[in-house]
Amino acid sequence: MKDPVALYVHLPFCELKCAYCDFNSYAGLEGLMGPYVEAVAAEARLWSALLGRPPVTTLFCGGGTPSLLPLPSLERLLAALRDAFPFQPDCETTVEANPGTVDARYLKGIAALGVNRLSLGVQSFHDDELRALDRLHTAQEAEEAYGWARRAGFASINLDLIYGLPAQPLARWQATLERAIALGPDHLSLYALTVEEGTKLAYQVARGLVPPPDDDAQAEMLEWSLERMAAAGYEHYEISNWARPGHRCRHNLAYWQCRPYLGLGAGAHSCLPWGDGWCRFWDVASPRRYIEAVAEACRAGPLADGLPDALAALPQVAGREVVGLEGAMSEFLLMGLRLRDGVSLAEFRRRFGRELLDTFAGPLAELSELGLVEVRGGRLRLTRRGLFLANEVFVRLL
Ligand code: SF4
What is the whole-number distance in angstroms between the Cα of residue 262 and the centre of ligand 1? Answer: 22
316 lines ligand 1 (CB under 6 A): no
pLDDT at site 308: 72
Compute, in angstroms, the gap from residue 30 CA to the centroid of ligand 1.
Answer: 14
- pLDDT tens track for 203-254: 999 999 999 999 999 999 999 999 999 999 999 999 999 999 999 999 999 9
Q: What is the pLDDT of residues 175-209, one digit of tens each?
A: 999 999 999 999 999 999 999 999 999 999 999 99
What is the structure's pLDDT at 311?
86
Index of the ligand 1 atom closest to the CA of residue 134: 6
Of ligand 1's atoms, which has the minimum distance to the CA of residue 64? 3
pLDDT at 303: 67
Ligand 1 centre distance from Cα of residue 191 (Å) = 14
In three-state secondary structure terms, 26 is: strand
Q: Is the CB of 97 under 6 A from ligand 1?
A: no
Q: How far is the CA of 134 from the centre of ligand 1 (A)?
A: 9
CA distance 316 to 292: 8
Query: In what helix (H) or strand (E) does residue 382 lie, and over which residues does it extend?
Result: strand 379-382
199 touches ligand 1 (CB under 6 Å): no
Q: Whose Cα sits closest to atom 5 in ligand 1?
A: 17
Q: Is the pLDDT of residue 2 over 80?
A: no
* Residue-wise pLDDT tens digits, 331-380: 999 999 999 999 999 999 999 999 999 999 999 999 999 999 999 999 99
Ligand 1 center to residue 18 CA distance, Å? 5
SS (H, E, C) 102-161: CCHHHHHHHHHCCCCEEEEEEECCCHHHHHHCCCCCCHHHHHHHHHHHHHHCCCEEEEEE
Q: Is 17 in the pocket of ligand 1 (CB under 6 A)?
A: yes
- For ligand 1, atom 7, the nearest C-alpha belongs to 21
Q: Is 65 in the pocket of ligand 1 (CB under 6 A)?
A: yes
The CA 132 to ligand 1 mean position distance, Å, reads 14
- DSSP codes joined into one string, 184-215: --SEEEEEE----TTSHHHHHHHTTSSPPPPH
The Å distance, Cα 222 to ligand 1 centre, comes to: 23
Structural domains of the chain, ranges and CATH numbers in brackets: 5-256 (3.20.20.70), 337-397 (1.10.10)
**What's the mean per-residue pLDDT of the chain?**
96
